[in-house]
Amino acid sequence: MFSIQRAITIALFAGLPMLAADHITLNNGDTITGTIVKKDGDKLIFKSEFLGEVTMPWTAVKSIKSDSELTVVLPSGESVKGKVETEGDQLRVVASGQTKAAPIAAVAAVRNDAEQHTFERMQHPRFLELWTGQVDLGLALARGNARSATLTTGFTATRATRNDKVALYLNQIYATARVNNVTDTIASAVRSGWKYNRNFDGRLFVTGFNDYEHDRFQNLNLRFVAGAGLGVRAAKTDRAQLDFDAGLDYQRENFLNGLTRNSAEVNTGDNAVYQLSKFTSLSQSARFFAKVTDGSGYRFNFDLSTTTVLRKWLGWNVTASDRFLSNPVQGRQRNDLLVSTGFRLTFAR
């Protein structure tokens, strides 16, 4: 029935008992000994000393007996904390001398203390809580016949709750080179902004964003973009997530030669995250902007990043950030691509 059955059986008869443990009996008669982590949706997560963290269908569970106290959410929505056991098809929670029972198939959730703390923290978090993020740093130097220096920096921060998500980002590259004893800037670009998603109907969400961009060699002093729209979560699994959204925005471009352009735009794009392996993840976003006020051009933004975890707080990151502008100022190319690699420091609050 399960690919883990043979390993479970071997572990059970290895003669290595635990002093205190929770016990799960499956419908096929196998018994697993370890620690119950949580029952979320239709899955049960169980941590075994021999097998590590195991996920199994809740419908495959015949009986449970816990040595530690668990928080159980009953079909009525009431949360009860106590030791758990089953009797027939009923799950019983014994707490403070009282026993409450419910059909095991109808139990909404089961959580250990750590998972319950996380759940409660997600209910009404303060704005400064739940942030996770990364800081990227890359440096390249050349000395000798060539003398150059390139610095790349990046920053991302995300705060995700049950109802919404805030994301901040910044990417920067600055490079100088010395030729014939004259030092000059050969690259200077900054891209930054924020995005906010608010869930309102299952897979649907409303979104708002604000982008800022400076690119010396496009003669771009500042591009300001503010917009909003609707989105849909097309896919979400343990390893991947894919969102699509579309909307309207206002753009203002100010160039170093004095040219200023304002326009309303329609835009559409996607955001994707994929876990390639246990240690490597991939993120991608793309967005197309078409001017509707004067129909004089369009833009396309594409970002791709992959990170390999070296330590819990340290990783190696490769990022590509491309910006295409159909109508640049005279004498400038339409496409600018930034590629950077370096160490990534992660943080969480």
The conformation of residue 329, written as its DSSP 8-state character, comes to P
Q: Which pLDDT value is given to residue 131?
A: 92
Identify the residue whose tokens are 């799950």. 91
Residues 102, 149: one domain?
no
Chosen domain end from 123, 149, 179: 123
One domain, residues 118 and 267: no
Q: Are residues 89 and 180 in the same domain?
A: no
Looking at 203-313, which runs of residues are DSSP E strands?
204-215, 220-236, 240-255, 260-275, 280-291, 298-309
pTM equals 0.74
Q: Structural domain tally of the chain?
A: 2
Are 135 and 252 members of one domain?
yes
Query: Is there a single domain that holds both residue 173 and residue 297?
Result: yes
> Does residue 225 share a domain with residue 147?
yes
Which CATH number do you get for residue 167?
A: 2.40.230.20
pLDDT for the residue numbered 89: 87
Amino acid identity of 70?
L
Do both 108 and 199 map to the same domain?
A: no
Q: Is residue 176 located within the same domain as residue 233?
A: yes
The last residue of one of the domains, among 123, 155, 170, is 123
pLDDT < 70: residue spans in the chain: 1-20
Q: Assess whether 109 and 141 both reside in one domain.
A: no
At 239-290, the pLDDT tens digits run 899 999 999 999 999 999 889 999 999 999 999 999 999 899 999 999 999 9
Owning domain of residue 254:
131-348
With a CB cutoff of 8 Å and minimum separation 6, the contacts of 320 are 302, 303, 304, 305, 337, 338, 339
Domain end, chosen from 90, 123, 156, is at 123
* pLDDT for the residue numbered 8: 47
Q: What's residue 20's pLDDT? A: 59
Is there a single domain that holds both residue 154 and residue 112? no
